[in-house]
Amino acid sequence: MWKRIIESLIRKRNPQFGFDPALKDDMLLGQLWEIGWGMIRGLGWNLLGLSAKGLLAGRGLRLSCRSNMKLGKWVKIGDYVHLSAMGKLPLTLGNGVGIGSFSRLILSTSMNQIGAYIHLEDNVSIGEFAYLGGGGGLKIGRGTIVGQYLSCHPENHHFENLDQEIRLQGVSRQGISIGRDCWIGAKVTITDGVTIGDHCVIAAGSVVTKSMPAYAVIGGVPARVIRSRQIKETA
């Protein structure tokens, strides 16, 4: 009975959730202990002015420029995550978004040219050790799931002048847009100016340097379209 009650509560964040029959009671109790502390830490952040209903906050969470953040309901943030919202538009996490431990979501690192925005739509799940920049703007569509070590860089350094240090030549910014319902494998890098269509799959370790159509299966360094998910392969 008590498991069914807990299951129904978790389904508020994930409607299709169900306990694995092999899950032992002591394992579940350990997880509930962690969730309980996450809710307490989330309440603490709300008392400090962050409006985020049902926030599960990990240990060592660091928030910079909280007034420029918008967090939806049932957001889950792992341990030692840093969110920095120094930008022209908000850092937005939709309902049910999950951010893996040790990740960084940084709108900008320089006060002389602040970033644009980061917008993660509902139910986006980001794996551990991700770095998401917001210099030129970053949007990830609803329901997209991502493995560990994702790296998104919506900014490029100019380097044409051989007589001046690269760090002094400024940057260009176009932004990155990732569609909804995508599956991005571990250790993928996405560079500035890239648009990825809806329902794409990107193989682990890929470096995506150009835009990709919807329903594409993508892989390689640099990445290319391997096939379309809409075309069934024949034997």
Average pLDDT, the chain: 91
pLDDT one-digit tens code per residue, 47-67: 777 888 889 999 999 999 999
Per-residue pLDDT band for 233 (boundaries 50, 70, 90) equals: low
Q: What is the pLDDT of residue 110?
A: 79
Q: Can you list the alpha helix ranges (DSSP code H) found in the chain?
A: 2-10, 25-47
The structure's pTM equals 0.88
Alpha carbon 89 to its chain centroid, in Å, reads 17
Q: Is 21 exposed, middle or buried (0-12, 13-18, 19+ CB in 10 A)?
A: exposed
Pairwise CA distance, residues 217 & 228, whole Å: 6
Pairwise CA distance, residues 92 & 119, whole Å: 5
Longest dimension (CA), the chain: 72
Q: Is 187 exposed, middle or buried (0-12, 13-18, 19+ CB in 10 A)?
A: middle
Report the candidate in 124, 118, 81, 85 with the shortest Cα–Cα distance to residue 102. 81
pLDDT one-digit tens code per residue, 127-142: 999 999 999 999 999 9
CA distances from 231 to 130, 194, 228 (A): 32, 24, 6
The structural domains of the chain, with segments of one domain joined by +, span 52-228
Tell me the CATH number for domain 52-228. 2.160.10.10
Pairwise CA distance, residues 137 & 135, whole Å: 6
Are 113 and 171 within 8 A, CB to CB?
A: yes
CA distances from 233 to 195, 227, 228 (A): 26, 9, 9
